[in-house]
Structure 1
Amino acid sequence: MAGKKLTHLDDKGAARMVDVSEKPVTSRSATAKGRVKMKAATLKLILDDGLKKGNALEVARLAGIMAAKKTSDLVPLCHPLAISKVEVELRPDRKSNAVDVEATVQVSGQTGVEMEALAAVSVACLTLYDMAKAVDRGMVIGDIRLTRKSGGKSGDYKAK
């Protein structure tokens, strides 16, 4: 990491938005994952569509998609992007009493979509919590991470 510097700080340490105007438009993609752990009874209610607030998995999917589209409003210094695709998958894991969340975001643009994928996962997880908190305030949101990205100057990345 020697020689690398943070791109969102100027020479005096002040925050700045990175200038991407000279970067070429390329196809870029990013995937992030996260998990919400809960009681077995909570997962059963979610899967049986038994929550008073409605279908938690579908509401969380929609919330994740919306979050990807609004990332530049939520995270300072993120560029607004014309996102071309957002997929949010929610996979129940009965053995672990959890829901695994994965989001993939694609764009043809001058900057990547890692933050958009991470925002989608984060908000989908938060929405699951919100939908089920009346029956289980002990849910744990975690393991949110970038798992893959492609395109751009820095090339491809795949988590180990």
Structure 2
Amino acid sequence: MAETEKHHLTHLATDGRAEMVDVGAKQDTQRTAVAVGAVTMAPETLRAIQEGNAKKGDVIAVARLAGIMAAKKTHDLIPLCHPLALTKIAVEIAPDEALPGLRVEATAALTGKTGVEMEALTAVSVACLTIYDMAKALDKNMVIGAVRLKEKAGGRSGDWRMDEAGDGTASG
């Protein structure tokens, strides 16, 4: 890929206007993306969530559902994103005493003409926001952070995985 192609902003027309990329001529391929994030909180907040003692209910179950729903609505939330027929969206939320807090991971997949990175990132972001919303009565000092793409597969640009330093490297 030429240097000018590599850094071309695909959502800009030649005159600088924003536009949705035309993916009509692209081949359908299997595409997946995994995104991660975390909500850091006080140890007692994490304990209350794990014990089911948040006033608003089951924080983890509701946040998981919110993430799934958000992935399906990404095109409504992010300008220029294509509406996609996702074949999979999974949101996993796990306690991490070392944070302390909850780690969130979302996997999105489809067979199509464009990637699912934004859907995975949206799922993680909304799941984290939902955790904050449902537990804010317990802890307003929670911090949402480290939302990022962990890996992606498929498409013309190929596979990519975040490197050990978290900067990302092409792999494959």
- Structure 2-normalised TM-score? 0.91
Are 1:87 and 2:82 an aligned pair?
Answer: no
- Name which of 79, 88, 107 aligns with 2:110: 107
Quick one: distance in 2 between partners of 1:6 and 1:134?
Answer: 42
Quick one: distance in 1 between partners of 2:15 and 2:50?
Answer: 52
Quick one: distance in 1 between partners of 2:30 and 2:76?
Answer: 22
Instruction: Please give the root-mean-square deviation of Cα atoms over the aligned residues, in Å.
Output: 1.0
Partner of 1:69: 72
Residue ranges of structure 1 left out of the alignment (5+ in a row): none
Quick one: distance in 2 between partners of 1:118 and 1:156?
Answer: 17
Identity %: 57
**Which residue type is aligned with residue 46 of structure 1?**
I
Quick one: distance in 2 between partners of 1:148 and 1:49?
Answer: 32
**Which residue type is aligned with residue 40 of structure 2?**
K
User: Which range moves more in the overlay, 89-98 or 74-83?
Assistant: 89-98
Quick one: distance in 2 between partners of 1:69 and 1:147?
Answer: 19
Are 1:156 and 2:125 an aligned pair?
Answer: no
Quick one: distance in 1 between partners of 2:145 and 2:99?
Answer: 13
Q: Give a deviation string over 1:50-86, Cα, whole Å, max 9, x none.
A: 0110000000000000011000000000000000001
Secondary structure at the counterpart of residue 143 of structure 1: strand
Quick one: distance in 1 between partners of 2:142 and 2:23?
Answer: 40
Secondary structure at the counterpart of residue 11 of structure 2: coil
How many residues end up aligned between the 2 structures? 160
Residue ranges of structure 2 left out of the alignment (5+ in a row): 164-172
- Name which of 20, 25, 49 aligns with 1:22: 25
- Measure how far apart 1:2 and its partner are: 4.4
- Name which of 117, 136, 139 aligns with 2:139: 136
4+ long deviations beyond 2 Å:
none
**Which residue type is aligned with residue 87 of structure 1?**
A
- Name which of 54, 58, 83 aligns with 1:55: 58
- Name which of 32, 39, 56 aligns with 2:35: 32
Are 1:126 and 2:129 an aligned pair?
Answer: yes
**Which residue type is aligned with residue 50 of structure 1?**
N
